[in-house]
Amino acid sequence: MTAVKLTLDRLTKQYRAGLAPAVDRLDMEVEEGHLVALLGPSGCGKTTTLRMVAGLMDPTAGRIVVDGRDITATPVHERGMGMVFQSYALFPHMDVAANVAFGLQMRRVAKSKQTELVRNALDMVKLGHLASRHPKELSGGQQQRVALARALVVEPTLLLLDEPLSNLDAKLRETMRTEIRSIQRRTGATTLFVTHDQDEALDMADRIAVMNGGLIEQFGTPADIYERPRTRFVADFIGRANLFEASVAAASGTGSKGETVYRIDVPGIGTSEAIGEAGLEGSQRTVLVRPHRVQVELGAQPGGLTGTIENVSYTGDALGYSIRLGDVLLQVERHTADGTIPARGEQATVRWAAEDAYVLPEEVRAP
């Protein structure tokens, strides 16, 4: 299969005049063979974006370009994309084999060839033995895999998945993640994957587009999104985060990846260090510290920020603290093996390496 490149150019959807656009001038480039996750809270416009790409809905403005060809006006049945719906949308009046063969039939593939391709596709999703069942007689996970086989059997140029795992139970979801990812790698299909689950996105995607209110907040690799979020929304949405405001003081050096190391002043708490983009001196910014990057010592120690332990939660593997530092309630996570379990009300001192705290480039939004 030859993978294609998908470009979205100022793609916009406004459902009704006067309503805020559900998708607002969205720009995105999906490289050949990449799996891109559209990640965001419910209602942020993920499905709308996917449906426009699929051709199930006309954009209000903007273009959809595949390998340099503008397909914005191409009807759905001529786009040759594979789509997996959240509800799977398997044809209830056909058995599994007929469901998978549907796309081949539409392409007028010879009957004998159809049989072979259907068998291969079902083997790929490990459902060869259920070919003559009807969708109703399958479990959720099996239906999901039939939907995947049905979409993939026609070797689509683009694979579109709308929350394909959200109807599965937690354990199956994990298995299917790996399975979808490995099938996607094997077929090499360029893939758009809609999800509201950040773990899924981090785990599966080559690139993540974090969406919020019809806009892309950030587009980047999972590591980028997690380590170097551009906005408070992204930092908060992906993973657990301590976010607090600080005054960025003078730059004091350069980090290992070329970032600027700043001294930061957290009002009413003290000073520390953090890294960030160049040129943030003298500004008011949000600082991100992930809970497991915070070092904690019991008692008031010099050279750190001292506060009071408000809560301790023990989950077996890890120990979580909430430490009150002035206005900030800092979440800290430690491995249990690291020491004794402290009591609430005890004093503790936290510190972090400059590289473990990140000054967000986004200006502090007025509350």
Ligand X SMILES: Nc1ncnc2c1ncn2[C@@H]1O[C@H](COP(=O)(O)OP(=O)(O)O)[C@@H](O)[C@H]1O
Chain residues 144-203 in contact with another protein, contact rule CB under 8 A: 150-151, 154, 160
Binding track over 61-100 against another protein, x by CB under 8 A: --------------xxxxxxxxx-x-x-xxxxx-------
- Residue 120 vs 322, nearer CB to another protein: 120
Least CB distance to ligand X at residue 49 (A): 7
DSSP string, 193-229: EEES-HHHHHHH-SEEEEEETTEEEEEE-HHHHHHS-
Residues 161, 165, 171: CA angle, nearest 5 degrees: 155
Return the range that interacts with ligand X (CB under 6 A); candidates 39-47, 104-112, 133-141, 314-322.
39-47
Judged by beta carbon distances under 5 to 8 A according to partner kind, the member of Mg ion, ligand X, another protein, none in contact with residue 257 is none
Strand order in the sheet with 23-30: 23-30, 6-13, 61-66, 69-70
How far CA 242 is from CA of 84, 163, 335, in Å, comes to 36, 28, 18
Least CB distance to another protein at residue 84 (A): 9
Binding track over 22-61 against another protein, x by CB under 8 A: --------------------------------xxx-----
Residue 311's closest CA among 302, 300, 320, 298? Answer: 320
Judged by beta carbon distances under 5 to 8 A according to partner kind, the member of another protein, ligand X, Mg ion, none in contact with residue 45 is ligand X
Residue whose pair of structure tokens reads 């773990």 in the numeric block: 199
- Residue 195 vs 286, nearer CB to Mg ion: 195
Q: What is the C-alpha separation between 103 and 101, in angstroms, rounded?
A: 6
Least CB distance to another protein at residue 258 (A): 45
How far CA 338 is from CA of 296, 306, 317, in Å, comes to 10, 19, 11
Residues 162, 115, 117: CA angle, nearest 5 degrees: 50
Chain residues 47-106 in contact with Mg ion, contact rule CB under 5 A: 47
Judged by beta carbon distances under 5 to 8 A according to partner kind, the member of ligand X, another protein, Mg ion, none in contact with residue 136 is another protein
Structure tokens at 167: 């109807």
Binding interface with ligand X (CB under 6 A): 15, 22, 40, 42-48
Binding interface with Mg ion (CB under 5 A): 47
